[in-house]
């Protein structure tokens, strides 16, 4: 058996998971802010931030969809061993992980319903760069405006139009993460 599947999770699960959960929630509560995540050593091509987000948010009740080059036997085995999360297609996932170009079309993912807007997917987007440049963000959790390097604008504007339904996004690069909830306006 590939020992990397067994290794690479949180060394001290309780405090590492608590710190990671706080950072992920802070990223979602304050769109445009970038936070550092540490504590995991995942198999390639997973970044540390994407892996820590998966370890923190996924469990046996949260189906995961892996898109493009993220869908490898080592990544599947690592996620299955460390979280127990089942794998699914985009239409039934709670979380999707991949590069922006591999995750489309966004219409394939659940956006929740009027009665249950929380039954939507969160897309964890692997980015080559993540910084405070690019598009302007406005909305809850942002004092005035914020800026974040997003892969495009139109998809996030269309997603926001579905509010209170819609997709939520976590952008990861190396050990950094930023959130973009459906309530955020992008221009």
Secondary structure of 67-100 as H, E, C letters: CHHHCCHHHHHHHHHHHCCCECCHHHCCEEEEEH
Type and span of the H or E element at 55: helix 48-57
Task: Please report which confidence band the pLDDT of residue 2 belongs to, taking 50, 70 and 90 as the band edges.
Answer: low
- Provide the edge-to-edge strand list for the sheet that holds 35-36: 35-36, 176-180, 168-173, 122-126, 95-99, 64-66
Strand locations in the chain (E): 35-36, 64-66, 95-99, 122-126, 135-138, 146-148, 168-173, 176-180, 185-186
Question: From CA 62, how far away is CA 135, in angstroms rounded?
Answer: 30
Report if residue 66 sits inside a domain.
yes
Question: From CA 124, how far away is CA 64, in angstroms rounded?
Answer: 10
Residue range 147-169: mean pLDDT, rounded: 97
User: Of all residues in the chain, what percent are helix, strand and coil, respectively (each to 5)?
Assistant: 35, 20, 45
Report if residue 187 sits inside a domain.
no
Indicate the pTM of the whole model. Answer: 0.95
Report if residue 134 sits inside a domain.
yes
| CATH code of the domain containing 79 | 3.40.50.11310
Residue 156 domain boundaries: 3-181
40-84 pLDDT per residue, tens = 999 999 999 999 999 999 999 999 999 999 999 999 999 999 999
Report if residue 21 sits inside a domain.
yes
Total domains, the chain = 1
pLDDT at res. 8? 73
Report if residue 186 sits inside a domain.
no
Virtual torsion, Cα 173, 175, 180, 181, nearest 10 deg: 140
Tokens of 30: 């304050």
pLDDT at res. 12? 77
Strand-pairing partners, residue 147, are: 136
Report if residue 171 sits inside a domain.
yes
């Amino acid at each position: 058996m590939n020992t990397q599947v067994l290794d690479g999770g949180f060394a001290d699960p309780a405090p590492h998971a608590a710190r990671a959960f706080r950072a992920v929630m802070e990223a979602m509560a304050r769109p445009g802010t970038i936070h550092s995540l540490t504590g995991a050593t995942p198999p390639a091509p997973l970044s540390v931030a994407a892996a820590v987000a998966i370890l923190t948010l996924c469990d046996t009740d949260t189906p995961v969809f892996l898109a493009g080059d993220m869908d490898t036997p080592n990544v599947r085995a690592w996620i299955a061993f460390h979280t127990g999360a089942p794998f699914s297609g985009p239409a039934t996932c709670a979380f999707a992980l991949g590069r922006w170009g591999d995750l489309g079309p966004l219409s394939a993912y659940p956006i929740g319903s009027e009665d249950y807007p929380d039954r939507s997917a969160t897309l964890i987007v692997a980015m080559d760069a993540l910084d405070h440049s690019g598009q302007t963000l406005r909305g809850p959790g942002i004092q005035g405006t914020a800026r974040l390097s997003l892969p495009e604008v139109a998809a996030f504007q269309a997603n926001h139009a579905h509010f209170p339904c819609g997709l939520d996004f976590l952008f990861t690069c190396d050990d950094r993460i930023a959130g973009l909830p459906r309530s955020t306006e992008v221009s």
